[in-house]
Structure 1
Amino acid sequence: MGFAEAELTRDAFLGGRVHAWQPRHGYRAATDPVLLAAAVEASAGHSVLELGCGAGVASLCLSARVPDLRLTGIERQAAYADLARRNLGPDARIVTADLADLPADLKQDRFDHVIANPPYYPAGGGTSARNAGREAALRENTPLEMWVDIAARRLAPKGWLTIIQSADRVPDLMAAIATRLGSVTLRPLAAREGRNAGRVLLKARKGGRAPFTLLPPLILHTGPDHRADGDDFSPVARAILREAAPLPWI
């Protein structure tokens, strides 16, 4: 069953350049899918597959920056898949399916880019979210290794995986990538100067042979803490989140 209109909000991203319908309660996209989209070095005409696309915010933000992309999204929660279709329009292909049981025709496709924002929390342990949709988005049901394996299988030769993940899952992520992809570049995301990274963005290439690269962290906010109303994004973060700028990979 989908969301009723009264259960939805229409939210602005990229400084109002795009808007997306999201559930008022449940999993709601914030900065992570916007940062993910900014990290994708796509060009017009490229094909992009988003695994676990939710309401489609990452793909929506990417398409606002790069025209004429061929977008496909996979989402196992039917209500969120319906929102992705609404947000992305008829030119995007949204498939309601579990990653572990993809339709046969999709298994034949190869993509220039695969992007993903997998759940950050492993199955078991911790406190479950009260909302089922939020719980499904945040807590791992399909193992992270399987996300990477599925992404690698769907990539065309020399295609790129771009993924955002919790920093404490980097060992799991690197282990999953080790035998499948190469040319790995990792950029930590830290809330403020001097703080540990909470998230990471990672790029890896199918058939890539370049050495591993660890980039300096992207600092998201200025100052030692939040001291006033309104955002305090760093200049680079503000350009990404408000002006649709790409995330630098140098």
Structure 2
Amino acid sequence: MDNQIKSDQLPTAAAGEVEPFTIDDFLGGALRLRQPRDGYRISMDTVLLAASVQAKPGETVLEGGVGSGGAALCLAHRLPGVKVYGIDMQDHMLAYARQNILENNLSEQVTVEHGSIKDLSCPEATYDHVMINPPYLAAGKAIRPPAETKGLAHMDSTANLKDWIKFCIYQVKNRGTVTIIYRADRMDEVIAHLYRRVGELKIMPLWPRLGSPAKRVIIQGRKGIHGASKLLPGLALHGEQDRYTEEAEAILRKGKSLQL
């Protein structure tokens, strides 16, 4: 581990500063991940996205906007033998991701590098699966979060939703899957951008609790396939109390897959 980054040297976007960070448990402690204390942080959405991708040993998965590596590492932990790649524009977030890869002994499975989802100069149709958790807010539609990493993660800046989906379609192999977690009130935009390019869509609502409107949806489809879309039964995340439901607990704490 000669290339290991010391915990007190993780950079911020401002050169020469040290960013306060936390070390947090995921998947019931199976993973321990460093992340900025005040910037973009790994969320429930991150874990649910990773749980939705069903890859086979020997297949490849690409994540656009990998951040500190949460989704990539959750997926790699659940699916030994699958190669996971991630790109991100923020070098200091990639520093977290590389540290997390090393400390969780997943260097053989997970690789991250600097890259933009708008750069389509690389070879087309390279990966078996592509997954994204794109910014939820359209530029100009809300107040941008003050932390730079959170602002880039939550609001369109250099790329919009159409750019993110174009990236997925470009990168995934024919018949491969595209998996997106996004706001339920903008799922019509996602479906419109996938139309005629990605089909057999499976749409899973994620309800905060039974009886509440879904705030998030997972949309998964296959490139070059024109089958009918399916609205799935969905997943309730919390019960009557604030505790996770049994189904959500199995995914978020025990690392089970989310079958679409």
2:225 is equivalent to residue 214 of structure 1: no
Name the structure 2 match of 1:25: 38
SS at match of 1:19: strand
Distance 1:66 1:73 in 2: 16
Distance 1:125 1:172 in 2: 15
2:81 is equivalent to residue 64 of structure 1: no
Name the structure 1 match of 2:169: 152
Name the structure 2 match of 1:100: 118
* 8 Å CA contact retained: 1:11, 1:20: yes
2:135 is aligned, of 119, 126, 150, to 119
Structure 1 residues 6, 96: CA separation in 2 closer, same or farther (over 3 Å shift)?
closer
Question: Structure 2 regions of 5+ residues with no counterpart?
Answer: 1-9
SS at match of 2:48: helix
TM value normalised by structure 1: 0.92
Residues 219-230 of structure 1: pairs in structure 2 closer than 5 A = 219-223=236-240, 226=242
2:11 is equivalent to residue 2 of structure 1: yes
TM value normalised by structure 2: 0.88
**Aligned residues, how many?**
241
**TM-fit CA distance, 1:25:** 1.1
**TM-fit CA distance, 1:6:** 6.1
Alignment-mate amino acid for residue 188 of structure 1: P
Instruction: Tell me the alpha carbon deviations over residues 48-106 of structure 1, each in whole angstroms, 9 at most, x when there is no partner.
Output: 1000111110010011110021111010111111211221244332121221125x4x4
Alignment-mate amino acid for residue 120 of structure 1: Y
* 8 Å CA contact retained: 1:149, 1:180: no
* 8 Å CA contact retained: 1:220, 1:233: yes
* 8 Å CA contact retained: 2:124, 2:170: no
**TM-fit CA distance, 1:14:** 0.4
Instruction: Tell me the alpha carbon deviations over residues 169-193 of structure 1, each in whole angstroms, 9 at most, x when there is no partner.
Output: 1011010000221111100000011
Question: Structure 1 regions of 5+ residues with no counterpart?
Answer: 227-231
Q: Percent identity?
A: 35
SS at match of 2:113: strand
Q: Cα RMSD over matched residues?
A: 1.6
Runs of 4+ in 1 over 6 A off after TM superposition: none
Alignment-mate amino acid for residue 24 of structure 2: D
2:55 is equivalent to residue 42 of structure 1: yes
Distance 2:124 2:224 in 1: 19
SS at match of 1:55: coil
Distance 2:149 2:19 in 1: 17
